[in-house]
């Protein structure tokens, strides 16, 4: 069963989402519009951290290998700022990694699905569907593909993906119990591990 705003609020008070915004924010105090973040009816829109964003660059003769990942394949991207806010630029037809500002602590009977927001999808920016399994903790590393032929801004401190919380019977072995390789991720991009 998908969990609602009442449940999300109750679990956030117990540390499931931190920091937690108890309503959907669409404008800042100065009336500046933002890509929405915070609590929605059946989900929670998390923000992109301004700490780090990296983009895959083509390096002639190099192959990206998830079993033997070379961090040199990812180039740090500069954080920009103007009247619309802070943002990174994801070049046309490229792929990048960012990190969630919010830290999660997923209960043992919940799996979280991280899905893209329509504001970004409508300009060609696709968020990879990412799960956070029962018992997982940390800041999600988020994956984005710019499928358009234009460079795209991706705003820091604003909504970037929505989390959906799915409840099931408690599992025999949670992510924590199996000592998953992405447990306790910091607020930095975590590279592929095997």
The SS3 call for residue 71 is helix
Is 12 a residue whose pLDDT tops 80? yes
Is 45 a residue whose pLDDT tops 80? yes
Please state the pTM of the whole predicted model.
0.93
Strand ranges inside 72-169, DSSP E: 74-76, 80-82, 85-90, 95-100, 103-105, 110-116, 125-127, 130-132, 137-138, 141-146, 152-155, 159-167
The SS3 call for residue 21 is coil
Closest CA to 127 of 153, 149, 157, 97: 97
Catalogue the active-site residues. Answer: 143
pLDDT confidence bin for 40, thresholds 50/70/90: very high
pLDDT confidence bin for 146, thresholds 50/70/90: very high
Closest CA to 21 of 2, 51, 44: 44
First-to-last C-alpha distance (Å) of the chain: 31
Mean pLDDT of the chain: 94
Is 14 a residue whose pLDDT tops 90? yes
Q: What percent of the chain has pLDDT over 70?
A: 100
Question: If you search the block for the tokens 């700490």, which residue do you land on?
Answer: 51
Domain 5-57+65-167 falls under CATH 2.70.40.10: yes
The predicted structure's pLDDT at residue 170: 87
pLDDT confidence bin for 191, thresholds 50/70/90: confident
């Amino acid at each position: 069963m998908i969990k609602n705003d009442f449940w999300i609020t109750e679990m956030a008070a117990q540390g499931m989402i931190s920091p937690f915004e108890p309503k959907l924010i669409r404008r800042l105090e100065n009336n500046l519009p933002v890509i929405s973040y915070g609590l929605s009816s059946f989900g929670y829109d998390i923000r992109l951290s301004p700490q780090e964003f990296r983009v895959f660059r083509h390096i002639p003769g190099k192959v990206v290998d998830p079993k033997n990942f070379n961090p040199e394949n990812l180039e740090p991207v500069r954080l920009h700022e103007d009247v619309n806010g802070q943002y990174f630029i994801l070049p046309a037809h490229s792929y990048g990694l960012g990190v969630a500002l919010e830290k999660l602590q997923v209960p043992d009977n919940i799996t979280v699905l991280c899905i893209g927001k329509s504001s970004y999808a409508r300009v060609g920016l696709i968020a990879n569907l990412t799960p956070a399994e029962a018992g997982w903790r940390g800041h999600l590393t988020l994956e984005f593909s710019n499928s358009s032929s234009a460079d795209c801004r991706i705003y820091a401190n604003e909504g970037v993906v929505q989390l959906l919380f799915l409840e099931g019977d408690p599992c025999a072995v949670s992510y924590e119990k199996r000592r998953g390789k992405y447990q306790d991720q910091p607020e930095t991009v975590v590279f592929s591990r095997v």
